[in-house]
Structure 1
Amino acid sequence: MAGVGPKKIIVLGAGVIGLTTAIKIQESGGYHVTIVADTLPSDPKTIKYTSHWAGAHHVSLAGSDMRQRQMDRETFETLWELSAPGNPAEKCFLRLPQEEYHCEERPRPDVLEIMPEYRELQQDTPAWPATAVHGAAFKTVTIDTPVYLTYLMSRFLAGGGAVVRGSVQHIAQLVESGAHAINPDEADPASPDAIVVCAGLGARALGGVEDKDVYPIRGQTVLLRAPWIRFGRTLSTVKGTWTYVIPRRSGDVIVGGTLGPDDWHPRPRPETTRDILQRVLALCPEIAPPDIRAVREPTIDDVLPIVIEEGCGLRPGRKGGIRLEVDDGGKVPIVHNYGHGGYGYISSWGSASIALGLLASALKKRDPVLSAKL
């Protein structure tokens, strides 16, 4: 264990949850944080790294879960601030009007009522889908996920953080000698003061964690080039699936989507891509090029030429929801922050705040004199 000085913390994982948590801990002061991960934001896209494949926009799905509501609200407030004109992170985001349509009644009070310029829509709204029973409009942010992940990593490194690339087989490897066990040429061999597990789907197989409540929720998307789209639109169904249109600042638009629990298939399915495009064109005919819409009703064949990429990712779902707790029975405290499913970007800053609180409390319990300086 370290003596007087910054507490040495290892964050396991470099997805949006790991990066956000590492920054939150680092910027609170009194910690030296090292991220250990085998895949980083700068790597080519891979099925092993879910955060690259997300949409993403901030539209909370928390329902009556008050903890989730609070995490989502804190995260939105942070993202709204980051997206403000002149903020160094501004170009990661697009502020835009959002329309949400639902095929079932919404719980009251609606979690979305806190969003800027919130209003309920009427059924004479031009875009109202035939199957919808409720609609709402508000302002939110969309996130250009590859750009944002690079921003988070740069912010972490600029603040003095360290990154060690490597695969961890068992949490005991880090407990005994920290990141040195993964890369002895770059890391301090001292045991860390605490470890924060942000391993996502990897928590299922990680030795010493092996959380069998973790499972994949496969999502498939299509990336289009459609810079004329500057609004978001979503239709949710009673089956719990969504059709969505998420434009990015760059002019790219990501559309989807699917929910496939326990589906491990690592490649886009062509028939699913076509289904997504058909649903999106029905919900948002504006996705077709304007010159085509000016002369006739568009078809799916008019959308195919603007397809950039088909993708799929394995969201890290967990039975019982996000695991935010401390295992304090071993040599060092282990803080768990994983199992976000499709809520990663939506709740990232809020869950990082909870993880930081758990970490500080665990360290204070073990060393109240030193922890008072944190």
Structure 2
Amino acid sequence: MKTSHDVVVLGAGVAGLTTALVLKQRGHGVTIVAQSMPGDESTDYASPRAGAHWRTMAPNDNRLLQDFDKCSYEKFLEFGRTMPTDTGVVIVPGIDYYDNAIPETEDPWFKEMVKNFAFIPTNKLPKGAKVGHSYTTGMVNCTGLGARQLGGVQDAAMFPTRGQTLIVQPTTPIRKTITHIGNGFIHYVIPRSDGTVVLGGTSQPNNFDPNPQQETTQKILQETVLLCPELKSCSVLKISVGFRPSRQGGVRIENQYYGKFKDPCIAIIHASYTMISKIDTAKQTKILVTHAYGHGGFGFQSSWGASAYTADLLERGLHSSKL
């Protein structure tokens, strides 16, 4: 019989919430503690501002990240097929353009995995693009930086990547996602199920400016209209700025053991994308912390795979002789 445990999940972004759900489905007791919860507005709370579509960022030589994205892709397509209203996941065509012809774009690892993959003919690529893909994808209608200050963690490798996006209302419905990635820029068009469209964007490391920049807004509109002419007569409903929780060296998912932890509540208040389990405030002995943060811009497309991996790691740690 499988043993259940009480687990505290710190952070309510897509990584924290998905991990909490995975643990709950496995029979564990789960408590979520976060500075921001769904519905809150904060530049540090990046997940609600995400375009939230599946487009892998895993390189050809990283099997672990590929497994994360593969699991999430299959999960999103299942949601889109079986419960689109409950989950907000919609299945749409995805189109990606790349200015750089590299192995990840010319021979992508996922071409046999996704549905309806095809290379886009050269004569149909936008200016500057050398490679293009089309495939079936899913989009989601929808405080990782806290690890910098979290007591006992204080990960100096964490840094914000500023993103600015627009929510617009087009006069013509948009039924596909479009992404164009070049040297130093990323432009994307991601429709939502309510008819609005997310336009982006920026990727500015170590930029803490929380204010929308008018010049950036105009640039986003100009570039996305080139990708999708149907946006010419759209109206801007909202301009958002959010800080993606990025990390030098990539995402951190690992177990760490703390001894004589005197005041665990302090850690819980300031945490994000980190889980603390088996807290014994009476004995205050050894505590297992399963770190899972630093997802940067790939939180949604890796969410289900990364959360399952994190839950596996936590359960192995709980059954370890170290506790």
Q: If the length of structure 1 is used for normalisation, what is the TM-score?
A: 0.74
Aligned to 2:194: 250
The secondary structure found in structure 1 opposite 2:139 is strand
Which residue of the partner structure matches residue 273 of structure 1?
A: 217
* Uncovered stretches (5+) of structure 2, i.e. residues with no partner: 260-285
- Paired with 1:288 and 1:135, the residues of 2 have a C-alpha distance of 23
Larger Rg over CA atoms? 1
Following the alignment from structure 1 to structure 2, what is the Cα–Cα distance between the partners of residues 329 and 18?
A: 21
- The corresponding residue for 2:123 is 124
For residues 66 and 6 of structure 1, the distance between their equivalents in structure 2, rounded to whole angstroms, comes to 30
Report the structure, 1 or 2, having the larger helix content: 1
Partners of 1:111 and 1:233 in 2: how far apart? 19
Q: Which runs of 5+ in 1 are unaligned?
A: 146-198, 290-302, 369-374
2:244 aligns with 315
| Secondary structure at the counterpart of residue 39 of structure 1 | coil
Report the counterpart of residue 333 of structure 1 in structure 2: 288
Report the CA distance shift for 1:335/1:86 in structure 2 as closer, same or farther (over 3 A).
closer
Deviation at residue 48 of structure 1 after TM alignment: 2.6
Deviation at 1:203?
0.4
Please report how far the alpha carbon of residue 321 of structure 1 lies from its aligned counterpart in structure 2 after TM superposition.
0.5
What is the rounded CA distance, in whole Å, between the counterparts of 1:258 and 1:88 in structure 2? 30
More strand by share: 2
* Shift in CA distance, 135/312, structure 1 to aligned 2, threshold 3 Å: same
* Structure 1 position 20, deviation (Å): 0.3
Q: Find the residue that maps to 2:287 and give its secondary structure.
A: coil
Tell me the residue number matched to 1:51.
Answer: 47
3-state SS of 1:334 partner:
strand
Give the structure 2 partner of residue 35 of structure 1: 32
- The residue that corresponds to 1:190 in the other structure is none
Q: CA deviation digits over 1:333-370, x for unaligned, max 9?
A: 000000000011011111111111111111111489xx
Query: Structure 1 CA distance, aligned partners of 2:297 and 2:39?
Result: 22
Cα deviation for residue 66 of structure 1 reads 1.6
Name the SS for the 1:336 alignment partner.
strand
Task: Give the Cα separation in 1 of the matches to 2:181 and 2:84.
Answer: 33
| 1:140 matched residue in structure 2 | 137
Match of 1:76 among 73, 85, 91: 73
Taking the aligned partners of 2:84 and 2:139, their CA distance within structure 1 comes to 15
TM-score (normalizing by structure 2): 0.86
Give the superposition deviation at 1:200: 0.8
Aligned to 2:267: none
- Alpha-carbon distance in structure 1 between the residues aligned to 2:82 and 2:53: 18
Distance of 1:360 and 1:232 partners within structure 2: 37
- Aligned to 2:122, the other structure's residue is in SS state coil
* Structure 2 CA distance for aligned equivalents of residues 21 and 46 of structure 1: 21
In the TM superposition, residue 72 of structure 1 has moved relative to its aligned partner by: 0.7
Kindly provide the CA deviation profile for residues 59-93 of structure 1, in whole angstroms up to 9, marking residues without a partner as x. 00111322111111111111111111445635x12
**Total equivalences in the alignment:** 291
Matched, 1:260 2:204: yes
CA distance in 1, matches of 2:57, 2:35: 30
Deviation at 1:38, TM superposition (A): 2.0
1:365 aligned counterpart, secondary structure:
coil
Cα gap change, 1:85/1:6 in structure 2, threshold over 3 Å: closer, same or farther?
closer
CA distance in 1, matches of 2:126, 2:110: 19
